[in-house]
Structure formats: C-alpha cells, structure tokens
Amino acid sequence: MKRTLTLIGAAAASLIAVTAQAQRPEQRPAPTDFAIEVYQMNPTSYASQSVSPGYTLEVRRDSVFCHLPYVGQVYSANPSGAAHLEFAAPVRDWQVTAGRKGRQTVSFRCAWGAVSYSFRVTLRPGGEATVVVTPTTAQRISYDGDIIED
C-alpha cells in the first residue's frame, strides 16, 4: 500500500512539473489567433459600465475583427455616425511581450478608413484579458473580458 502511494505521488509530482513547464510564457507559442468576449468597458472620462453579451475582439492570423462599444470624447466626427468600433482590418506592427505571472501582451496597429487604431491586449493564464484601444480620432478606452476557447 505504501509503495502504491509513493508511485502515485511520484506520478503526480512529475505531471505537475510537466504542466508547470508547459505554462512558462517563454515556452508558449506567440498568440496569433485569439478571441475575447468583453463584459466591461472602462472609458477614460466616464464611469466603467457593464457590456451586453456579444461584444468581441478577434485576431485571426493577420486580421483583427473588432465589434466593441465605445463611450468617450471623439475629436473628429465619425462619418458613419456609429457609437461603436465595428470593423475588420489587416494587422501591422505586431509585437508579443512575455510578462510576469504568465501574462502575454500583444500589441498591434490597424487602420479602418481615415482612422488608425492602436491595440494592446493583455492575455492572462486564467482566461481573462484586458484590451486597450487608442483611436487617432478619439480618447482611448479599455475593456475587460474573457478569452473565448475555440
């Protein structure tokens, strides 16, 4: 009985070591495909607000698919009159940085029409994410959300 418990303990310890090794950020591949469903927006000049389900940010290879609400100061008129960030665009200036506690920060830029956007997405190991969007024609805004598993 004691030998069986020792073997089970050794197997569990080696499984934990292998799992911990796989979770190290420097060994994980850089994320090029991910999707985030946001549940809260944090405007710069206004109070944080809960967001209805269905608002997402998706990155697929070299493109971003943005469907996010927007509240904030707009510096120039939006020709569409929309009060949200709704577009699909190619990604450029892609950077991935490994952070503390298994976090990864993905930064990129894109343009839709006359507006350029800068994105900084922090992916946390627990499945949570923070998205910061800075349009050239409006105040920056951040979102909290969950990583959607495919």
When pLDDT is cut at 50, 70 and 90, the band that residue 77 belongs to is low
This prediction's pTM: 0.76
**Per-residue confidence (pLDDT) for residue 32, from 0 to 100:** 78
Q: Could you tell me the domains of the chain?
A: 29-147 (2.40.128.410)
Q: What is the mean pLDDT of the chain?
A: 80
**Per-residue confidence (pLDDT) for residue 8, from 0 to 100:** 35
Outline where the chain has alpha helix (H). Answer: 2-23
Residue pLDDT, tens place only, 101-140: 999 999 999 999 888 999 999 999 999 999 999 999 889 9
